[in-house]
Structure 1
Amino acid sequence: MAQDAIVLGAGIVGVSVALHLQQRGWQVTLIDRQGPGEATSFGNAGLIEASSVVPYAFPRNLGTLLNFAMNRSTALRYDLRSLPAYAPWLARFWYESAPRRLAAAARDMLPLIQRSVAEHEALTLRAGHDDLVRPTGWLEAYRSRKHFEREANAARRISSEYQLGMNVLEGSALHGLEASIDGAYAGAIHWTDPRSVIDPGALTKGYAALFEREGGRLLIGDAATLEQSGSGWRVTTASGPVDAQAAVVALGIWSVDVARKFGYRIPLMAKRGYHMHYERDGRAVLSRPVVDIENGYVVAPMRRGLRLTTGVELASRNRPPSPVQLERAERIARPAFGLGARIDASPWLGLRPCTPDMRPVIGAAERHAGLWFAFGHAHHGLTLGPVTGRLIAELMNGEAGFTDPNPYRPGRF
């Protein structure tokens, strides 16, 4: 008998879950309050980060911590009113970032990271959108010679341990690869395995269109209406109620609201981020994303121009947007990358859903049959969307997952 499922959330994770369930014969309805790829999946640096084998951890360097505490950094900004809400989460994040626990998190995340490019490639070919993904890798650029040399040595060790493609570029070699970058950088590390996406929102929409072409339903609805209905689940949509045997919560940061409704207290907090597009000032075209390590922002070539994506802002979801972090990054990035006039009418704001142990939440809700969770991918939502879709579809279909799902289980909290 055909199985059916409701997938809540039409971002990159939800769309990927829907596609993988559909591929296994499930009848799937994908529900969101807006169109696919309109929330956090729309705005990011456009990276499929196949080289990011070590999660982004809480810094342990005293100088970095003092810099952050002053709240003048471009890499991290905090909203003072929001800090009490973040305090328990930050304490757990600091604990989980100790070297031994961070190494364990890296081991747990490795199976997902290693398959990220392959799972995207399978979907881009089916969707006919391989033109949106480029095999350029990405650059970590360093202004400090000392910092560059230290991190280059660390990168060589990581590259050898995990068999990652990597080149160390001195300043002149960096300029030879990317002529549009000025001479502010001592050097860069070119990670060659990652892919760059020139329009992340369009890629998510392309995957959603594939889902619809292959018979899936995409409806407008409110995830807050999710409720148990007999032995299954029901959601109210603009087209009426939808019932299914299973429901998958893939709502990014908003997943915590639905989980809490059914008694699951998952420590999920948002790292906010902004982006803005800029015209080019006439320099050579930037070919690949570049992260300015010391200043914590990314500049990436996109269809719409050069996209500047900020680092982390710790502010509650209901706090109004702040121009401070983007303006700081823009002042530094403009001369380095030749940013021209702003293109967007206002900065875009997105919410990266983060767990304190740096692992996503993927698996079955322990106390409710047919309820599944797929969220909490932090900075790697675009990277891990398709591979998450595969893993959770395998588990829902009763298959042996391609990797042990235990590190991601919801019940670990």
Structure 2
Amino acid sequence: MKKKYLTYAGIVAALLLVGMFIAICLSSFPFPFLPPSAAIDPVTNASVDENNMLVLSGTTTLPWYANMSVTISTCPSPGNCTGGTNTWNEATIIPAADGGRNRWRSEFDLSLLIPGDYQITVATYSFGKNYSLIQGAPIATGHFTLGDDTAGSGAIHKRSPAVQPYIRINPLKQAGSILIITGITSLAPATPLAWDLHGVTNATVGNSSDYRGTVLVTEGTEGVNRWSVQIENSTPEPGPYQVTLTGNAAGNISPAGTVSASTTFVPSGSATSGNTTTLLPVSAHFIAIDTLPDIHTEGVYVITGTTSIPAGQDLTMNVYPAAFETGSYNFSVDARDAGQNTTLSDTGTFSGASGGTVVVNGAGGENLWAFKLETYKFSPGEYLVNISNDNFDWTTRTMKYGDLFSSRIFPVTVNNS
């Protein structure tokens, strides 16, 4: 009996070894029978990009489809990183092109962190009932020091993102004979902006201004300031017109430092032609999105707008591929399809963002909202941004749909800088 038992045990062991060999050969996971592991690249000042984002990276044995998280924890005292505050973010796993270890990366906004010592923890995660987060055991840890102005060379430092001065003009509105021109700017409050209105004949802008004046920039939210012009009886003749805004960060000093913007429009009742836009009607109950900047991958942008909703109420923002609205997409979540050359015009990978924001007080019956959009995990392509007064009830786990929304389609292009 003992001999037969050993024979059977040998057969079973041989079958297990053959099965393991086949699994290793067929698995895309480099080490399917070993615990997951990861390594963290050194954190230096080169890890802080031009947007003041700390870009952490490293390698891992996890496959591209695994759920991987990165947590930054404050260390209340040297060597003690328990009991501090945590900042959590998911990591993107990038498949290795040469068959080696996959790479991972995750981004953190340094403006939210104070100088001090920090611990980095890389782990897996999953979701349980009611979407509860289940954090796995750490598979890698590291440390870095965020220094102040007096910190030595061993610390990393924050960067001040450079803001290219701009003036943007929102879609124009018309209330009766009153033309309403509004927009946003990076110029400081109280900066004067010169505006003028020209008639356009045969695609040629007139030399003389039909109307002109000066308006002061007013304070907005999240560093995005505002301006507004109202002109009565501004378009006495039918046909296209062009409005131009000009300002200067140092005051009315031309031409150095001059910033300008212009748009061509036709008044209500006129026929549209060329690159012109019709005027929007004025609504008493609304959510509006300000004119968007050029948006690229690997960037941080503040999307803003106005609303009639009272200050203190919540709004919901969703950004997703525009093809989702038409159904003309081939859905994929494979990170191997998410390279810089992948576009989302009709097919591609899922990428987007969602979140909430709170309405703040504005002026002239228009309150303000702002939403920070990070595009580090975006693939190039056409996206739709939607802002609404929908709200998710976390108690009942249901969405409470509101009665207002505004949406806009915009392109995301590759950041070549």
User: TM > 0.5 between the two?
Assistant: no
Q: TM-score, normalised by structure 1?
A: 0.23
Q: Which has the higher helix share?
A: 1
More strand by share: 2
Structure with the greater alpha carbon radius of gyration? 2
Instruction: Tell which has more relative contact order, 1 or 2 (C-alpha 8 A, sep 6+).
Output: 1
TM-score normalised by length of structure 2: 0.23
